[in-house]
Chain A
Amino acid sequence: VLTSPRSMPEATPAPRENRAPAPARWARGARWAGEIAAAVGAVTVSTGVAWILFGHQSLPDVAMAFLLGVVAVAVRRSLGAALLAAVLSVLSYDFFFIPPYLSFTVDDGRHVVTFVVMFVVAALISTLTQRIRRQASDAEVREQRTARLYAMTRELSSARGFDALRAIAIRHVGELCEGEAAILVPGPPGGADARGIDVPLAGAGGRIGVLRVVPGVRGRFDDLEQRATLETFAAQIAGALERARAADEAEEARLEAETERLRSALLSSVSHDLRTPLAVITGAATTLLTGAGAVDAAAQRDLLSAICDESSRLTRLVTNLLDMTRLTAGSLAVHKEWESIEAVAGAALGRVEERLAGRPIHASLPPDLPLVPFDAVLVEQVLINLLENAAKYTPAGSAIDIRAAATPDEVSVEVADRGPGVPAAERERIFDKFYRVPGARTGGAGLGLAICRGIVEAHGGRIRVADREGGGAVFCFTLPIEGAPPAVEEDGAPT
């Protein structure tokens, strides 16, 4: 499964040795000195204790004091230090407590057996203690890896989209190996010059790509267990990426189906909403051109204004259809800039001025409203659609109000009318494409509000409709304020 270790590059950085050789050697020397000092210290203490016991207790009890010292070193220090302590203990025992005293010579040959047994026992204790310690630290490393694996799995399960998952996996594996990781998938080549350990990412439905790891520490992942860890990570990543890819494909299919639905709805809409104005325009224009019937000056004006009205209706319809197509196709690019709600609301009101003629319009926009990041052209369209909607569905002459308010996180904009309101059951559906409230008197393609929702959601905001106190409907949308608005320095005092 793994490529051979020769794929480990010679150039893999081993920072501790390459980057700072002098301090590293110094540190190593200091470590050895510490080990030796610990062994000597422990044996000195053991000798002291043995000296106190000597004379009160039998000789084997004195030997026990030395064993205790060796165990103490083995628990805290390296195997080398423990073995050194064992050797020193035997020497000290011989020197101080075996006659002739203060000499390494031995009169009684039986004591040599004691020395050997004492050394073997000490060495055995040291080795066993070391093994227990290593197992404990291995368990800790394993536990850490399991925790890492769990953390990655949890993060992978909460994220959406192939690229997001890929980024998460790369970050976690990079932390695991304290180096760099990459996930190579079939497609345009990129970063192929980085060499390292390659682990295939095999999903249930075939190979997804390769996990490439360049560890920051030489020798990482050399042993089988560490490789197994890496493979466990790879398996998790492969599974997550495979699910993400399936989800992406499903989304694509859904989008395609949606586009198809839009296309067929467009066709049925064409027959209805495009033909009526075209019929009026053609009829009126031919009447004027041929002079058919007795067309007096007043009738001529009527026919001409009918042509104008129906043309602007066509314009609105085509605009909406184009906007909707762009929204559905996902090709809508949102150019966010720090903009003024007041300026855009003013522009929208100017744009629908004729349609709102004869209605009292109250705009209450606080003067301290902050700049908000949004696409001015798109948000103007949202306001135009909401205002036209209000004009279309509320009695002529009734008031329309625009309000805006800001919190530190978002700005909310309201368009409120005094019309019949929207029944509770319809409040979600009116934002759907091609949906029209049953029995609504005026014709339209049912696109205006769907476009509003598309644009607002593309900004990361929300849109909804509610009852208005005292009658009517309130359409409210929010736009998030991400980050602090850029600073604007004030100039001098007015003169």
Chain B
Amino acid sequence: MSRPLLVWFAVLAHASLAFGGPQSAQQILEESQRRADVKSLRYEGLLQVTSSRGKTAEKRWQLERVGSQGSSKIVFYFTDPPQIKGVAILIVNHPGEKSDSWMWIPAAHRERRVDLESRSRRFFDTDFKLEDLEQRDVEEYDYESTGQADIDGFSCWIVRAVPKSKSAQHSFSRLYIRQKDYAIAQVEDYIDKAIVRTLKFGDIQKVQGIATPHLIEVADLRRHSSTTLKLEKIQYNVVLPDEDFTIAAIKRSK
């Protein structure tokens, strides 16, 4: 199982530190999660996917999320280019169970279920995975501190996260967590001993007091493709009613 990106988002979001003294890797991750815990989230994203052939495609979406840690609901609304305007994706996470996902395609006038299995693979032909965009439980991994390193001038703990599930796609991930604010600076996914994917979190700024990356770069080292997500207009703890996270709601896509 690869690293859930939103966990790292959440960790990033609580950059303020009130922490000191030696900690175990598990404690570092729990603190990150605690700091990242927000009731809701909204942002606009610009997605740039560069294929292995060197062609780049751009899409814009608006993401809304309510809830956290395994019981969240997420909606993506694609806004650009015009061909995909109105396409929406709804993800409903259930604690300890597989998530439910639907996609609304206005031109086809119907919603469709998204194969749950595919979330561990490429998310809609980006280098993200669907599970990267969900909030997962820290308890799904075993952690081990493996040292320290500097990322973009920030001292980071290096934590090795090994998924407990035997069907996980990656053997382990290596997380670089900033000591200053517990924000994740980088994630590396490994299969056996080979690095297969990297996620870099850049332009970390405080939003509503939460350290938040405004640029995420993902590179698939096997496919030689990369995806960049620029986050704009980030808002935390906005009022998002539950009824906005239903199939009926995405059919009224914005």
Chains A and B form a bound pair: no
Report A's interface with B, CB cutoff 8 A: none
Interface residues of B (CB under 8 A from A): none
